[in-house]
Amino acid sequence: MGRWSEERVIGAAPDASSLAAARKLARPGPWSDTGSNDVLVWGKCQGSGKTPYQVSVDIAAPAYRCSCPSRKFPCKHALALLLLWAREEAAAAGVETAGFAEEWAAQRADRAATRERRQSEQQTDPVAQAKRLSDRLTLMDAGIADFARWLTDLVRTGLASAHNQPYSWWDGVAGRLVDAQLPGLAEQVRAMGSDIHARADWADHLLLRSGRWWAMTKAWSRRDQLTPDEFADLRVAVGWATASAEVHAAESLPGPWLVLGAHRSDDGRLQQQRTWLRGPDGTVVVVLDFAAQGQALATPQLAGALLDVTVARYPGSAPQRAMFTSPLAPRGLAGSLGEGCSIAEALDMESAAVALSPWRERHPVLFAGVRVCPGEAGWLRDGSGDALPLVGAAMDSLLALTGSHPVNVFGELEEGRVRPLSVVIEGAVVTP
């Protein structure tokens, strides 16, 4: 693996406070026994206690370990070590691997080998595999039937009554869906328990979701009549994951891939990172990374970066989820994301995508010549006067970057709102 840039280290920080603390530690003074090789960076950092903290970083995964009590991943010590390594101020290559780093790497390799062996054993027994599939489908069928009855009761009693229900009511329904191995559907229900009290348009939002959920139960009962892509989209919606080994074995598409933008979210249980990419033939895919609380997400890629990497796509309709199938090799930075579209054209494309896959949550769009306008949450307005509200936007940063001048903006179109992920400013792609 190549040496990380400071920007990549900064992108790995879990929050601003961790990065600020890491900058204070990113000096040779507190560090000893540092070193690096092709996959590991390690070192000891002297804290307030008598024993220095042992820090190890797997730069290929990436993964982090530190003997400090922090529950953040990476912690400030791991970030500080990476900053020193990126600046070539510490952790030089060619030194003997520290025992604590070597032991941690060996433990990770053993766990990975054990998981691979178990997966291989499961896949080589077709009878047991068929039994597991049959048991799961039976459980999922019962869960969908129970959910359909709950939706019927929800409509019979009226959506207004749902607004008065406590969060525990929604969480109970979600729990039954998890038990039925329908985690994707469970997360949608659990999120509604919060949205219904947080959103001013809760009635419209709940009506839209309820209709979508009902259509989902009907589609599940007719799954044998769906095309492979339609069934793949439905599987994603209910939370039936496709094994990464199956995807890895599929055809890989070569690069270079342009990073259009990325977004991180955290619902308190699970962290998610979405990275949107466009290939040389115009194919748009999204790479999803997940991490439980206390674990580290994959290092984010810079918007506008060109990556020499191959990707394989999951089954489903476009734009498809994808995974990297070769090591990442940054080629450089692009000064543009390409030609964009108007708001009307974007809405037409969203309508066409929903017609193919009604369960899709969001749609990637590159807007051309739009102005960022202030408001309660902000707006994007194009030259024809059409406008869309923003969601999750850092308005101060957007207004400062654009000065309300027409710019190209890449973002996610989600239920009539736009989440801006990158902006093209004077020949540079910037993350607001």
Query: What is the tens place of the pLDDT at every residue in 337-391?
Result: 989 999 999 999 999 988 888 888 899 999 999 999 988 788 999 999 999 999 9
Split at pLDDT 50, 70, 90, the class of 121 is: low
Please report whether residue 94 resides in a domain. Answer: yes
Q: What percent of the chain has pLDDT over 90?
A: 57
Q: Residues 57, 161: one domain?
A: no
- Structural domain ending residue among the three candidates 216, 238, 260: 238
Same domain for 186 and 105: no
Q: Looking at residue 362, which CATH number applies to its domain?
A: 2.40.50
Please compute the mean of the pLDDT values over residues 161-165 and round it to a whole number. 90
In a domain, 244, yes or no: no
| 226 and 133 fall within a common domain | yes
**What is the reported pLDDT for 293?**
64
* Same-domain pairing of 221 and 322: no
Q: Name the DSSP class of 382.
A: -
pLDDT tens-digit readout, 393-406: 888 889 998 988 99
The count of other CB atoms within 10 Å of the CB of residue 35 is 19
| Structure tokens belonging to residue 212 | 């979508």
Beta strands in 162-294 (DSSP E): 252-253, 257-266, 270-278, 284-292
Question: What local confidence, expressed as pLDDT, does residue 294 receive?
Answer: 61
312 within domain boundaries:
yes
139 and 227 in a single domain? The answer is yes
Do the domain assignments include residue 220?
yes
Least confident of 113-127, 304-318, 322-336: 113-127
Mark which of 209, 238, 267 sits at the end of a domain.
238
Average pLDDT over residues 243-258: 86
Q: Please give the Cα distance from 378 to 398 (Å, whole number).
A: 10
**CA atoms of 313 and 287, how far apart (whole Å):** 9
Question: Which residues, 6 or more positions from 199, have their beta carbon under 8 angstroms from its beta carbon?
Answer: 205
* Count of structural domains, the chain: 4
Which structural domain range is residue 350 located in? Answer: 343-430
Beta bridge partners of 424: 408, 429
Q: What is the mean pLDDT of the chain?
A: 89
Residue 24 lies in a domain: yes
Report how far apart, in Å, the C-alpha atoms of 132 and of each of 153, 182, 234 are.
Answer: 32, 15, 20
Residues 17 and 47 in one domain: yes
Residues 382 and 300 in one domain: no
Could you tell me if 409 and 352 lie in one domain?
Answer: yes
How confident is the model at residue 251, as a pLDDT? Answer: 83
Tell me which of 52, 85, 118 is where a domain ends: 118
Q: What is the pTM of this model?
A: 0.73
Identify the CA nearest to 418 among candidates 393, 397, 401, 386. Answer: 393
**Residue 109 resides in a domain:** yes
Pair 255, 326 in one domain: yes
Beta bridge partners of 398: none
Whether residues 292 and 383 share a domain: the answer is no
Is there a single domain that holds both residue 99 and residue 168? no
338 in any annotated domain: no
Residue 418 lies in a domain: yes
Regarding whether 93 and 132 lie in a shared domain, the answer is no
Angle at Cα 272 formed by Cα 270 and Cα 273, nearest 5°? 160
Q: What pLDDT shows up at residue 220?
A: 95
Q: What are phi and psi of 343, to 5 degrees?
A: -65, -40
Both tokens assigned to 118: 């178990």
